[in-house]
Amino acid sequence: MTVSPHYKLLLERDHLPQQVEAGSSVELPLDLFDAVDSTSAFRLESVKDAEESTRDLAARLATTELRRASHPGRVTWEPTDQAEPVPVPPTVVDGDGDLWLRDRGTGTWTMPEFNPNEFPARCGEVLTWNQLAREFGPLTALADDRRIGGGRR
């Protein structure tokens, strides 16, 4: 994977492999559905050091950068990316690695594995792209498809 300068800063700040140079390639034990989620990002020193009022956003933005670095072929949108991408991906995973499906007829998003005992009630609702990105982002396309628009790779 190619390491962006921002990701290099996260590596240095969080005491991960120091030998990684910006623009270099490295194999890291990161998996889209496990280590690269918002919950895990709260363990990063850079997130711990953030003001309490901004810690959630810091974790979600760190998750965005980690996903982009570890999965460069997949598009990841930040929680602040409010414009619906064109073309729109049919499926995404949210900041916690949970799957969301887009209804092609309505353009809305639902969580197919919603269980009220495991997820907040909001996850059981039908959401727009803006709501999904803002409340549950970052969002990462499951397809390794460079035609999907809008986000950064």
Q: 41-46: long-range contacts at Cβ-Cβ below 8 A with a sequence spacing of 24 or more?
A: 41/66, 44/10, 44/13, 44/14, 45/13, 45/14, 45/15, 46/9, 46/10, 46/13, 46/14
Q: What is the pLDDT of residues 80-120, one digit of tens each?
A: 888 899 889 999 999 988 999 999 999 999 999 999 999 99
How many Å is the maximal CA-CA distance in the chain?
49
Q: What is the pLDDT of residues 40-62, one digit of tens each?
A: 788 788 888 889 898 889 888 98
